[in-house]
A = this chain, B = another copy of it.
Amino acid sequence: MDFLSHKEKYEETVRKACVVYKKLKEMRKGTGSIDISRENIITSVIHSILKDGDPFSLNNVMMIPVIIGQATPRQQAMWLQRTINYEIIGTYAQTELGHGTFIRGLETTAHYDPTTQEFILNSPTLTSYKWWPGGLGQTTNYAIVVAQLYTQGVYRGIHLFMVQLRNEETHEPLPGIKIGEIGTKLGMNNVNNGFLGFENVHIPREHMLMKYSKVLEDGSYIKSTNEKLAYGGMTFVRVSILKVVSTLLAKACTIAIRYSAVRRQSEMKPGEPEPQILDYRTQQYKLFPYLAASFALKFTGKWLLNICTEVFSELEEGKLERLPELHALSCCLKAVCTTEAAQGAETCRLACGGHGYMMCSNLPSLYGLITAACTYEGENTVLLLQTARYLMKAWQQAVGGMAMTPTVAYLKQAVSGSNGTPCWEGSTACIVSAFQQVAARKVKHSADIMGQRIQEGVSPEDAWNMTSVELVQCAEAHGRAILVERFVAAVAELNVSVALKTVLAQLRDLYTIYTLLRNSGDFLMYTEMTPLDYCNLQNRMETLLSELRPNAVGIVDGFDFHDDIIASTLGSWDGQVYDRLFAAASKSPLNQDTVNESFHKYLKPMLKSGL
Contact = CB atoms under 8 A, between A and B. Distances in A.
Interface of A: 2-8, 10-11, 14-15, 17-18, 21-22, 25-26, 29, 85-89, 95, 97-102, 104-105, 126-127, 129, 131-132, 137-139, 168, 170-173, 180-187, 192, 195, 264-269, 274, 279-283, 285-286, 349-350, 353-354, 356-360, 364, 371-372, 374-376, 379-382, 385, 445, 459, 461-462, 465-470, 472, 517, 519-525, 531, 534-535, 538, 542, 578-579, 581-582, 584-591, 594-611
B381 A357 contact: no
Contact of A22 (B350, B445, B534, B609): B609
Number of copies: 2
B375 A357 contact: yes
A585 B465 contact: no
Nearest to A125: B578
26 contacts: A2-B184, A3-B5, A5-B8, A6-B590, A7-B588, A14-B603, A85-B610, A97-B582, A102-B267, A137-B591, A138-B596, A172-B595, A180-B586, A181-B591, A182-B358, A183-B584, A185-B357, A186-B349, A279-B465, A280-B465, A282-B385, A282-B469, A466-B542, A469-B542, A520-B521, A521-B534
B520 A139 contact: no
Contacts of A459: 269
Given A101-B266, A171-B604, A281-B469, 16 more contacts: A4-B5, A5-B8, A14-B596, A18-B605, A25-B610, A87-B607, A131-B354, A131-B581, A138-B595, A184-B358, A186-B364, A282-B469, A357-B371, A466-B542, A520-B522, A521-B534
A286 to B, nearest CB: 8
A511 to B, nearest CB: 16
Which secondary structure characterizes the binding site on chain A? helix
A269 to B, nearest CB: 5
B184 A359 contact: yes
A375 B354 CA distance: 6
Contacts of A465: 268, 279-281
A604 B10 CA distance: 15
Contacts of A184: 2-3, 358-360, 588
